[in-house]
């Protein structure tokens, strides 16, 4: 068994280095990246659904789901789709990262955890959204739990990790749905989720249209049994109300910062020379979550639950509802 990663190798932000051990073409446009500690130490443990930040060439930081087996601490696995409209993340992973490269990663975060003791679990992945669900399949298979997995993709050549999934998912419980670009030919999500069963939990992750269909199909489910993770922020609802300016008080430093109508809190803080950890800048990953101590927050993230929002906010997208906001910074 590998020795644990030395504490000295992990900085105060939970960041450390890994080496790229292998890169594999898993499907059209999708590569997997196998990561390990450069010195052979065990990697930090993670639970199914977790993700890490990856610091890429050019200074870009992006979050990627850990798609491997949570019980295997010798290596991590990422699955990355090369996006046509990439802002630098997936393009850098595919075009610049090579076997042997050392990357800065971390910390491990989980905004998509699995519920314990579910009677049955339904996993529904769309496209590259299969990555966090693959780690869940590993965990459920290891537990001998009852589950099924529905994988929606454009075609067989666009579906990643299928051989591994066939080995993990119980016989007859892996369902592959190929729509050839026409959602009407794919999985009938509404029919699949028509009748909730006691203590059945559903997890879904995928592109925007897929997520909307799943959200609509689960509206009559118990909210505690429905779990999702967005890889991209949904398009905001149209509104006639313009964002206003407000003031942010940083309690620990004593600074007061003005946030303009077209500014994020993160950007306003950065302009003063201070730094807040960020990654997605879309309210999806949790890198920038901070506590607020006063003021009313206009929450615009996609990861915090109601309990979290009582004390925390994502400063990359969320704003003040009033004129002032005090943060524990």
Q: What are the tens digits of pLDDT across the range 250-292? A: 999 999 999 999 999 999 999 999 988 888 888 888 889 999 9
Alpha helix segments (H runs only) across 152-238: 162-168, 189-192, 208-217
Give Cα 264 to chain centroid, integer Å. Answer: 21
Mean pLDDT over each residue of the chain, to the nearest integer = 92
CATH class belonging to 246-327: alpha beta
pLDDT at 7: 45
- Residue range 29-73, pLDDT digits in tens: 999 999 999 999 999 999 999 999 999 988 888 999 999 999 999
Per the CB < 8 A criterion, the answer to whether 179 and 151 are in contact is no
Contacts of 2 (CB under 8 A, 6+ apart): 37, 40, 41, 42, 73, 74
CATH of 7-109, one of 2.40.30.10, 3.90.230.10, 3.30.70.260, 1.20.58.110: 2.40.30.10
- Chain region(s) in the chain for CATH 3.40.50.80: 120-230
- Chain region(s) in the chain for CATH 2.40.30.10: 7-109
pLDDT at 239: 55
Cα gap 328→323, rounded to integer Å: 17
Strands (E), 97-195: 102-109, 120-126, 147-153, 174-178
What is the pTM assigned to this prediction? Answer: 0.84
CA distances (Å), 259 to each of 11, 79, 236, 245, in order? 31, 37, 20, 6
Cα gap 30→187, rounded to integer Å: 22
Tens-binned pLDDT, residue by residue, of the chain (329 aa): 455 555 435 555 678 999 999 999 999 999 999 999 999 999 999 999 999 999 998 888 899 999 999 999 999 999 999 987 766 789 999 999 999 999 999 889 999 999 999 999 999 999 999 999 999 999 999 999 999 999 999 999 999 999 999 999 999 999 999 999 898 899 999 999 999 999 999 999 999 999 999 999 999 999 999 999 998 777 666 555 568 899 999 999 999 999 999 999 999 999 999 988 888 888 888 889 999 999 999 999 988 988 999 999 999 999 999 999 999 99
- Chain region(s) in the chain for CATH 3.10.20.30: 246-327
**What 3-state class would DSSP assign to 80?**
strand
Per the CB < 8 A criterion, the answer to whether 235 and 259 are in contact is no
CATH number for the domain whose boundaries are 120-230: 3.40.50.80
Per the CB < 8 A criterion, the answer to whether 204 and 178 are in contact is no
């Amino acid at each position: 068994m590998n020795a644990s990663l030395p504490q000295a190798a992990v900085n105060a932000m939970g960041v450390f280095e890994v080496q790229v051990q292998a890169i594999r073409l898993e499907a059209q446009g999708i590569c997997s990246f196998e990561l390990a500690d450069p010195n052979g130490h065990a990697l930090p443990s993670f639970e199914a659904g977790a993700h890490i930040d990856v610091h890429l060439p050019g200074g870009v930081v992006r979050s990627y789901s850990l798609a491997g087996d949570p019980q295997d601490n010798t290596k991590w696995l990422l699955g990355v789709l090369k996006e046509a409209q990439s802002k630098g993340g997936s393009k850098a992973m595919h075009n610049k990262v090579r076997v042997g490269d050392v990357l800065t990663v971390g910390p491990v975060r989980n905004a998509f955890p699995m519920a314990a003791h579910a009677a049955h679990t339904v996993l529904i992945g769309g496209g590259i959204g299969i990555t966090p669900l693959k780690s869940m399949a590993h965990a459920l298979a290891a537990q001998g739990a009852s589950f099924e997995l529905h994988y929606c993709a454009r075609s067989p050549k666009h579906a990643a990790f299928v051989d591994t999934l066939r080995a993990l998912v119980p016989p007859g419980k892996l369902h592959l749905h190929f729509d050839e670009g026409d959602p009407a030919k794919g999985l009938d999500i509404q029919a699949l989720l028509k009748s909730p069963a006691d203590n059945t939990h559903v997890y879904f992750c995928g592109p925007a249209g897929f997520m909307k269909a799943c959200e609509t199909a689960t509206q009559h489910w118990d909210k505690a049994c429905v779990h999702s993770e967005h890889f991209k922020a949904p398009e905001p609802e149209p509104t006639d109300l313009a964002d206003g300016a407000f003031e942010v008080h940083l309690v620990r430093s004593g600074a007061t910062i003005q946030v303009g109508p077209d500014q994020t809190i993160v950007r306003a803080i950065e302009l003063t020379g201070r730094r807040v950890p960020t990654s997605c800048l879309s309210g999806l990953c949790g890198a920038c979550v901070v506590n607020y101590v006063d003021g009313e927050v206009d929450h615009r993230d996609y990861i915090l639950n109601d309990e979290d929002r009582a004390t925390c906010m994502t400063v990359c997208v969320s704003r003040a509802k009033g004129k002032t906001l005090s943060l524990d910074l």
